[in-house]
Structure 1
């Protein structure tokens, strides 16, 4: 037999090339798995060409490593054709690994690859074109085929474990799988070489015309290695690009989710917003109609929230709104929806409630929890809710009508004293239309200065002389007649016209005082009712002083009356404003005293000179001893605080006598003189020595 040996450097080169080839192939698998359509086909073809050429180059170098005492050559055509089986087998293997990463897929892929490597090897050996032909030793031949199948299946099975492993172990597992597959490819080749037997005197018919030479082997190795490195580089670059693309996609997805969340939620409270509620009702109401269950919409508005923002700042206001949101969520079931409509308006959607009595209980719970004072930034703040309730299908067939009717019911709750709840009634829609019409007419009347001021005298109870006047605005409506303040002042407050109304009254009073002074009439202070909204306006004092300068009046001629309940709201801010008025020379009085539950310590700090006793106590004193006791207690309190008292609504001589005996100094009411137009006031002012009750 012919002596056979191997070049160790070429053997090592073939082994290294096979391992690199396997590592590149496993890297390409991930690219194929993550691609679809033509891109996946392109990666499969690219990977098959790179890996197939690598295995073929390993085989070619292994053949060149063979050293025998005769010259060898390789048929170029058959050598090239020997690469076809392994390229096709590699492509099929890559596709199976990427698309069927199962145990069965791994076995099938390993079998295909093993058969491809075996076919390549024996076709490549045949390219030697030996004469006489090579004899094969069956055991070694069978061993090479078994190694090809078993080694390929084992390496691919190990690779399939990579995707189920911890990320930190994947690289080492891939390297181990690549070494195993590279060793398999090299082992198949050299086992096949061992299986060959060259007959004595055998020659290669391609020794002169075929491929041969160490230089050729190195060139093939270099080209194949560069192709593998290029494939690996492209694979790594593609992986980085894909990771970057996935990161951008994740960020875009997160941004899209955030925008979607913001479109349907309130950023401040994290509650659903208006769009969310409308969408919910659009989906819920057809279901409720089909399954015949009721849905209730509660419209919640916070009374006095604006003053929290104005006096303590928006940060405190925002924190307070978050506490209100928590209180509302705690008031209802988890399946119910609490939403913020904007500002200080909230909506609660209740489904499958048991009864109207159950809704009343829920409203009471909301009133209790939301009204409870909370401490925000060191301040104890609270705002009472007004709640309107509308029910489906009774009060509306769609989301818009239910919300509109709940809003109307909420305004009805405000008109009935706030801090309460009302169920929608059909008459509320008519009242709302009437309010809207009246509001528009009021705006026009203010612009045209159609409102007039009447004056009710304040009389000293002991002498019955006029000591002051109270300005009472009237609206001579073309169709409704002479309207009293109770008909339009609340409307002015809710529609934002109260400041304009206050300016109109102040200018009329100032102008009238200037006219009376020009006629030489003795002047007495004129009391003007002022709202909390006006006092909280930062330009109120500036505008007031400007008006008095225009008409040349001293501030002592103007007395402002503020209700007890208004004075006690945001007492710190109100106190600062009232002190500023006092510093300018204006007088102040607390109106409707006894109805606002004021703190005595706060009352003591208010810069007021007079307390006006509400007429409900005066008129109720004859029937109810408690009202009489309260009135006398107020008078005694005022005396201790060195404040004057004015009793409102005196209608009988008995009431006047009792109040005078109790220590009240001043009164007003129909017993003396009712409110008079400005044209009739000069007679009162001229009668300085005549008791008011005797003036016609």
Structure 2
């Protein structure tokens, strides 16, 4: 048997099945007309029709908005609809080659949009279709709408089954009990005429309780007046705003509990007057899911607190009400150490504990949010009183004075808080958060665990720093940054053994600027890495230039920014530098500060150790001026200890400074480190340091930091102390 023969047999069986229903050519029947009207109203289309596909023709059993009885089968949409079990959707028939030439597309009624669901018999034969159509293009037809149309097509098929079996139309309504769609129809007075089993199950009533009863049974009391007024308006010939729409409303079960439903309403007119029908779907699960999704979208997933986008939305809403408010920002002092030492898992558990404690100690009207990392925010609505904001900030700080017990660990961490007030410190959310951030920065500068309120000077200072950073970027790109070199001498002989490379800025308007004018802003910006590696490269280039000129090698001291050490690729950068300029690593000395050692992380230590293994010297700059412990001297592979000029300056007049200097020199000697005293200006200071056992020094007594071309004289003879201008 050929494929064509098998198709012919299948089509013959389909036509036989259709003939068994004895429906083709029959007169109008209200049951089918009502479904068409209902579908047209439900989907807001101009046309709806039930068609049956015979051998050569399409016959219209029922129509709404379309006055036609039959067409040739080749001139139909529905001939394509019955080829699959799926709903056929055509958004714009003019753009579909299958349908653009149909008379009902190119001529009256000028169909553009079409959707059809096949009428599938219990034996699986596709006999025709329930269709909706419109003269306007419809870009989308949702999956829910497809399912609803298919459900209505199944209802048409049930009608056809009942009709074939000869069941009286008065009892045919029972067909609806076969669908899981909840169906209700009411008369103009609001009395329930029909309800299917799915609706009875949904609302919890028996059929006897609902049919003939008022629709008020399922309408929450607070909505009944408006609902009855709408029904009365429709009964009097008016329109309903819900007609043809799918809306979400509240419904009421027999036990009085309310639940959300989705309702599609249809209104029709027949010989009895106005009829109203509704397809109702319980959307409790979907609403719960939406609530969960909304919660996920507005909550920080780790702590359960409000997240930043939601916080900003709430802030904008409060500002739109023209109400005063306060915004607090705070972060945690010591949290980074927890993550570095114990890992992010413990850190996350600590953040969760904070998320539980904070709301418990604050007023219920405030909103607590986690912005990310260890940064949090609080919104206090309805008050711009700085005392209220200060009180809340103090409560935060007090909350952190109680240790946190997490995973067998006890944590004592603090918080720094900055706050801003509306309308005094900003008129929009971005400005208020930025103002609070300025204040937080000032609190951190003050040592942490304190509260600061925003002041305009903070913004001015920050903007000035930002402008300075912008200028520094330009300076780097335009080669305005230069290195000067300060000699380092052996105190016993005055021989120059090295120089320290010090950055300067040749500003086009302000002249030569020392590091004090720009270094603080530079260290706090992302430019620190770029400038730091430029310094490294420029110093290496200069070493190679002196070597090429035939000068004897001297040690080059190069200062690092903390960001260079933290970046993790410092050792590779120095290896590349040595290779690029053919340098002897023994004459390179990298200077680190206490800021680097305070981080006390393995990555920084590994970077420094890798440099030392290359043969590069490691100098500890300004030791004793900050918080670095003696343990740093043990952990880091140092070669040189530099005594800060603050001790040297008053060495001869303050016994304490002399004692500290003497102790540092002795400590350095015991550890096998070279000692360099900075800031030597007088012969008396030099003599005292030499007698204490200090090996080397630098300072104005031996020369200020100078350009590279002035360093040449240092190579030919020891420093002539009597000629140095102090």
Question: Which category of TM-score, normalised to the shorter sequence, fits these structures?
Answer: 0.5 to 0.7
CA contact (8 A) 1:673 1:692 kept: no
User: What is the aligned partner in structure 2 of residue 277 from structure 1?
Assistant: 311
Distance 1:535 1:99, change over 3 A: same
The structure 2 residue matched to 1:667, chosen from 683, 697, 703, is 697
User: What is the aligned partner in structure 2 of residue 676 from structure 1?
Assistant: 706
Higher Cα radius of gyration = 1
Distance 1:524 1:318, change over 3 A: farther
Deviation at residue 582 of structure 1 after TM alignment: 0.8
Query: How big is each residue's C-alpha offset from its partner over 1:265-319, in whole Å with a ceiling of 9 and x where there is no partner?
Result: 2222322122222233334457784xxxx64322234578778768876545544
User: What is the aligned partner in structure 2 of residue 255 from structure 1?
Assistant: 289
User: What is the aligned partner in structure 2 of residue 95 from structure 1?
Assistant: 211
SS in 1 for 2:612: helix
Distance 1:379 1:458, change over 3 A: farther
CA contact (8 A) 1:589 1:608 kept: yes
Deviates further, 445-454 or 614-623: 614-623
CA contact (8 A) 1:489 1:498 kept: no
CA contact (8 A) 1:308 1:570 kept: no
Q: Tell me, yes or no, if structure 1 residue 346 matches structure 2 residue 376.
A: yes
**Matches of 2:486 and 2:355, distance apart in 1:** 47
CA contact (8 A) 2:647 2:661 kept: yes
Deviation at residue 684 of structure 1 after TM alignment: 1.5
CA contact (8 A) 2:326 2:384 kept: no
**Matches of 2:355 and 2:590, distance apart in 1:** 38
User: What is the aligned partner in structure 2 of residue 427 from structure 1?
Assistant: 457
Q: Tell me, yes or no, if structure 1 residue 575 matches structure 2 residue 609.
A: no
**Matches of 1:254 and 1:406, distance apart in 2:** 36
Query: How big is each residue's C-alpha offset from its partner over 1:96-124, in whole Å with a ceiling of 9 and x where there is no partner?
Result: 6896889xxxxxxxxxxxxxxxxxxxxxx
Distance 1:617 1:373, change over 3 A: farther
**Matches of 1:46 and 1:273, distance apart in 2:** 45
- Whose strand fraction is larger, Structure 1's or Structure 2's? 2
**Matches of 1:509 and 1:485, distance apart in 2:** 16
SS in 2 for 1:394: coil
Query: How big is each residue's C-alpha offset from its partner over 1:639-689, in whole Å with a ceiling of 9 and x where there is no partner?
Result: 2222222222233333333333332222222233211111211111222x3
Query: How big is each residue's C-alpha offset from its partner over 1:382-440, in whole Å with a ceiling of 9 and x where there is no partner?
Result: 88755433223332234332212112233344556667554322133333333232222
User: What is the aligned partner in structure 1 of residue 498 from structure 2?
Assistant: 468
Structure with bigger RCO (C-alpha 8 Å, 6+ apart): 1
Deviation at residue 603 of structure 1 after TM alignment: 2.5
CA RMSD of aligned residues (A): 4.4
SS in 2 for 1:527: strand
TM-score normalised to structure 2 length: 0.58
Deviation at residue 506 of structure 1 after TM alignment: 0.9
CA contact (8 A) 2:558 2:591 kept: yes
Distance 1:568 1:33, change over 3 A: closer
SS in 2 for 1:676: coil
SS in 1 for 2:211: helix
CA contact (8 A) 2:491 2:696 kept: yes
User: What is the aligned partner in structure 2 of residue 400 from structure 1?
Assistant: 430
Q: Tell me, yes or no, if structure 1 residue 640 matches structure 2 residue 653.
A: no
Distance 1:693 1:587, change over 3 A: farther
Deviation at residue 462 of structure 1 after TM alignment: 2.8
Q: Tell me, yes or no, if structure 1 residue 443 matches structure 2 residue 473.
A: yes
Q: Tell me, yes or no, if structure 1 residue 500 matches structure 2 residue 534.
A: no
User: What is the aligned partner in structure 1 of residue 681 from structure 2?
Assistant: 651
**Matches of 2:715 and 2:409, distance apart in 1:** 49
1:374-389 mapped onto 2 (5 Å cutoff): 387-389=417-419
5+ residue gaps, structure 2: 1-172, 199-205, 219-253, 257-278
Query: How big is each residue's C-alpha offset from its partner over 1:106-152, in whole Å with a ceiling of 9 and x where there is no partner?
Result: xxxxxxxxxxxxxxxxxxxxxxxxxxxxxxxxxxxxxxxxxxxxxxx
5+ residue gaps, structure 1: 1-24, 48-89, 103-161, 165-240
Deviation at residue 626 of structure 1 after TM alignment: 3.5
Distance 1:253 1:622, change over 3 A: farther
**Matches of 1:443 and 1:304, distance apart in 2:** 32
User: What is the aligned partner in structure 2 of residue 519 from structure 1?
Assistant: 549
TM-score normalised to structure 1 length: 0.60
CA contact (8 A) 1:409 1:423 kept: yes
**Matches of 1:287 and 1:252, distance apart in 2:** 32
User: What is the aligned partner in structure 2 of residue 553 from structure 1?
Assistant: 583
- Whose helix fraction is larger, Structure 1's or Structure 2's? 1
SS in 2 for 1:348: strand
Deviation at residue 358 of structure 1 after TM alignment: 7.2
**Matches of 1:43 and 1:370, distance apart in 2:** 65
